[in-house]
Amino acid sequence: MTITQSTRAATTSELTIATSEGVLFRLPLAGPAPRLYAMLLDIVIVLGTVNGIGLLVYWVFAKAPGFGVMVITLAEFAIGFAYSALLEGYWNGQTIGKRLFHLRVIDQDGLPLRIEQAWVRNLMRVFDALPFAYLVGGISVLSSPLMQRFGDRVAGTLVTRQTPLSLPDEEFWARQKYNSFTEYPTIAMQLRRAATPELAALIQDALRRRNELATYARREIYRELAAYLQSEICPFPDELIERLSDEQYLMNASSILFADRGAIASSKLAI
């Protein structure tokens, strides 16, 4: 995929990225309300940590309370910055608050967040918080077609919504011992990012109802779903697809969509 040749179109609710290969990535943008709730939860966590440390600092500097206040102020900034930057940089673009509210920070081209972007966007919180109560950041989000605060604009990042996929009961396709899609972990991860939760649920439902469908209907439905995934979502190599039936293609795809992300990553190491 060549991101430099991609085109982007934003609406008030999502960003659509069309790559040079014709793959469409639809990224639902996070609105101000869930971002505010996640930020408030993160602030509570940081302040709880700072207050715990503060008790120790005030006890140590009991004879110099002014110095203790300065240490606490610096510690609050340092802990708040490190909390957000480290978690976003190394925890899939999420803090605890963002994970609980199903938000994620990514690169504005749809790529995973880089650690240097996490550091930049969190350093810029100093300006987003001006003059009080994140007024600059709030105005920036409301005036941006991509809902970016000032720090996001500088770092080239976005905050997106993640609709959680409900894990299905163990189905027959999840018990297969070998999935040829795992031989292509990069493409498999692209499939996970590009497929919407609604599409994943549709594939799962089609497989679950295989015995309820007439043979001709099952073949047609599976053929159309497999063709759509291959041409519009994330194409796997032709030499692989030629060896698979449409049903096996959907079984492999469903296994990837509902698999643990670490399982796909470990398959890359094995290869």
Q: Is 21 a domain residue?
A: no
pLDDT tens for residues 183-214?
888 888 888 888 888 888 888 888 888 777 77
Most confidently modeled range among 12-26, 91-105, 128-142, 170-184: 91-105
* pLDDT over 90 at 120, yes or no: yes
Q: What is the mean pLDDT of the chain?
A: 79
Going by C-alpha positions, the residue among 197, 210, 199, 213 that lies closest to residue 171 is 210
Render the burial of 185-205: b for 16+ CB within 10 Å, e for the rest.
bebbbbbbebbeeebbeebbe
Lowest-confidence range among 59-63, 72-76, 188-192? 59-63
Q: Is 167 a domain residue?
A: no
Rounded to whole angstroms, what are the CA distances from 225 to 71, 244, 249, 255?
60, 14, 9, 15
Asked whether 264 and 185 are in contact (CB, 8 A), the reply is yes
Q: Is 4 a domain residue?
A: no
* Residues 46, 150 within the same domain: yes
Span 85-113, mean pLDDT?
90
Q: Is 117 a domain residue?
A: yes
* Residues 40, 152 within the same domain: yes
Report the C-alpha gap between 183 and 187 in whole angstroms: 9
Q: Is 265 a domain residue?
A: yes
pLDDT tens for residues 234-248?
889 988 888 888 988
* pLDDT over 50 at 271, yes or no: no
* Residues 181, 157 within the same domain: no
* Residues 199, 134 within the same domain: no
Q: Is 7 a domain residue?
A: no
Q: Measured on CA atoms in the order 75, 81, 84, 89, is the torsion positive or negative?
A: negative
pLDDT bracket for residue 269 (50, 70, 90):
very low
Q: Burial level of 107, CB count in 10 A (0-12/13-18/19+)?
A: middle
* Residues 151, 255 within the same domain: no
Report the C-alpha gap between 154 and 177 in whole angstroms: 46
Write down the pLDDT at residue 121.
94
State the pTM of this model: 0.57
Q: Is 161 helix (H, G, I), strand (E, B) or coil?
A: strand
Q: Is 66 a domain residue?
A: yes
Residue finishing a domain among 112, 134, 161: 161
Report the C-alpha gap between 57 and 73 in whole angstroms: 11
* Residues 204, 265 within the same domain: yes
* Residues 144, 181 within the same domain: no
Residue that wins the pLDDT comparison between 35 and 208: 35
Question: What letter represents residue 84's amino acid?
Answer: S
* Residues 259, 155 within the same domain: no
* Residues 178, 241 within the same domain: yes
* Residues 135, 242 within the same domain: no
DSSP secondary structure string for all residues of 23-73: -EEEEEBPPHHHHHHHHHHHHHHHHHHHHHHHHHHHHHTTT-HHHHHHHHH
Q: Please enumerate in sequence order all residues whose Cβ is within 8 A of that of 189, keeping only pairs 6 or more positions apart, or say none.
A: 261, 264
Write down the pLDDT at residue 37.
93
Residue finishing a domain among 161, 185, 201: 161
Provide the domain limits for residue 185.
172-270
Asked whether 134 and 142 are in contact (CB, 8 A), the reply is no
Domain count, the chain: 2
Report the C-alpha gap between 235 and 230 in whole angstroms: 4
Q: Is 6 a domain residue?
A: no
* Residues 126, 184 within the same domain: no
